Structure 1
Amino acid sequence: MNHDPVFTHFRPSEVVADGVSVYDFLGVKTDTRFKKAWVQFAAPAGKAVQARLPAFNEHYPDWVLTLESVLRASGTYRVAELGAGWGTWSSIAAAAARTRPQISGVEVVALEADPTHHKWLQQHFAVNGLKADGVHLVHGAISKERGQARFPVIENPDEDYGASLRQVNNGGDFIVVDSFILEDVISKFTGAVDFMHVDIQGAEYDVIPDNMDLLKRSVKSIMIGTHISLQHHEGMRDRFLERGWRERMNYPRMALCDTPYGKIQFGDGVLGFENPDLF
């Protein structure tokens, strides 16, 4: 398997391990408390770690699309992450942007509904030196309606990153969180969004379709994790193609897909699009 050329524009970092974190190739560190299965991968404190490029798994396309958006940017780079968890992709985007001399500033809006995950989001940005003016780490859910919404209680936050507003209808305990519409997210930026990462566990089909005009005016590139069914995935794809977006990636959920990097098994689907109106 060969890595995507986008990685040649970013220098791998060498870091000194703190004993409780794992590190990506940019040097962004993630506390292993956030992901139970990762504890075994934390290098001993004080050990020099030469960060390696990402593994060829279902998250590899996220890396490529994120870094491509950074590579295209100049001036202020803007990234939104909906269903942020601890801010995996917005933190990677912000860290990558800070290595590019043509980027003078970074704006981030990361939205996460689960209170524990949101606390970790705040900690993750702080420990990586990414909290600054223009960085908005919002506790709440993206929704069709502004106000409040019921969100499932997550019993094991270091294992479960798959909660959705849709699950509340299936019963079980829930909390009430603030809900925001997509316009609320877009309005926090000072200009067009370079990259929007959406992973909201099926709620994408409630949020995205009614906001196609807003996205076309405001977002340069987008990646959507798709859920539920192939029919839903294809329906979402059709909406973007009909509006003139340029398809960058299309990998159906629950499938072994041929990619430029070899065969990759996908759980969630991946749709990536570029907006020719904005670049």
Structure 2
Amino acid sequence: MIQPSAAPPPFSPFFFYNATFEPQEVMRRHAATGLVPNPQRLTNFLGVLIDPRFFPSLLDNRAGEVEGVPIPANWHADIAEWGAALRAVDLAGDSFTVIELGCGWGCWLNNTGVAARRLGKRPQLIGVEGDKGHLAFARQSTAENGFGSDQVTLHHGIAAARGGVALFPRQHQAGEQWGLEAVFGASAEQRQQAAAAGSHEELPMVALRDLAAPHARIDLLHIDIQGGEATLIEEALPQLQEKVAYIVVGTHSRPIEGRIMDTLHKAGWLLEIERPAILDMHHNGQRVVVDGVQGWRNPALHQPDPRR
């Protein structure tokens, strides 16, 4: 997720991505026409309705607006992430199954689900989220965007390669903080300390293999779990190889980007688009101010793309 910031400048860093396809063409092709403003919601270029209270500091007073195609970026994502997610929709067959790890308000469930539905594909949306308030946002948003209860499965937990117990920070008001980090595989001592302080909620670690088990194929796995991406991909690689056709991952450091590239390249995956994490070099060396993005295609589950 792009962190709160001013509008991108004319020479935006979000134009600096590497890709094997044309993500801007993909975005423009998926843009809905004839959208009608909703006075209580922000409507994006795909026709997805977003309640401004999900992001009060970013979307205040934007109800009733219809956004244009977000090139190079909007308040939430940039060309690389939009292009990668919609690329997965294009490559899917008659159905479209998406799993979003760290789903928040259901951003990529809604965006890719709406895009797939417009193409006549049958969407199935699966999300995992640690913040119960954000999970309520996801329930609300998927319903408001026309997905029935039989099309949506949401889990209150922490996505991981295997089961266990994790601790997740509590916040008083959903939407105030995004990007909270879980403590994976919490020890008994950590769990006792968190319970005494009331600072964290104890949640199950939801294994990727269990999420994928009911489905023959996952057309898109979107991963944004605040620093645990490389470990999950390394540990869940057998499940990814077998069932996941496309991965879009938010990367939270340059070392994470390198680890993912090493793991998936060695396993035969194709990196189709990437924009590295954007750094601020003026705070004790460097810090990530915007997550990176990588889009990976599993050639074992795709026929050759005739458009390439």
Q: Per the shorter chain, which TM-score range?
A: 0.7 to 0.9
Q: By how many angstroms is 1:21 displaced?
A: 1.5
Do structure 1's residue 269 and structure 2's residue 289 form an aligned pair? no
Do structure 1's residue 176 and structure 2's residue 193 form an aligned pair? no
State the match for 1:239 in structure 2: 263
**How many percent of aligned residue pairs carry the same amino acid?**
27
Listed one character per residue, the Cα deviations across residues 1-56 of structure 1 (whole Å, up to 9, x for unaligned) are 7971113432424344333311111211100010012013222xxxxx55411241
Please list, as runs of the form range in 1=range in 2, the aligned pairs for 1:1-279 lying within 5 A after superposition: 4-36=24-56, 37-43=58-64, 51-57=67-73, 58-101=77-120, 103=121, 105-166=122-183, 173-189=199-215, 191-227=216-252, 229-255=253-279, 267-279=290-302
Q: 1:13 to 1:148 in 2, by over 3 A?
A: farther
The one-letter amino acid of 1:238's match is D
CA distance in 2 between partners of 1:117 and 1:160 (Å): 10
* Comparing 81-90 and 127-136, the one that deviates more: 127-136
The one-letter amino acid of 2:246's match is S
* Comparing 4-13 and 26-35, the one that deviates more: 4-13
Q: 1:234 to 1:147 in 2, by over 3 A?
A: closer
The one-letter amino acid of 1:127's match is E
Q: Which is strand-richer, 1 or 2?
A: 1
The answer to whether the 8 Å contact 1:14/1:27 transfers is no
Partner SS state of residue 225, structure 1 = strand
Q: By how many angstroms is 1:255 displaced?
A: 4.4
Question: What is the RMSD of the two structures over their aligned residues, measured on CA atoms?
Answer: 2.5
Q: By how many angstroms is 1:241 displaced?
A: 0.6
Q: By how many angstroms is 1:164 displaced?
A: 1.6
Gaps of 5+ in 2: 1-14, 16-21, 281-287, 303-308
Q: By how many angstroms is 1:248 displaced?
A: 1.1
CA distance in 1 between partners of 2:217 and 2:23 (Å): 29
The answer to whether the 8 Å contact 2:96/2:116 transfers is yes
The answer to whether the 8 Å contact 2:46/2:114 transfers is yes
CA distance in 1 between partners of 2:124 and 2:130 (Å): 20
State the match for 1:46 in structure 2: none
Q: 1:50 to 1:146 in 2, by over 3 A?
A: closer
The TM-score normalised by the length of structure 1 is 0.85
Partner SS state of residue 294, structure 2 = strand
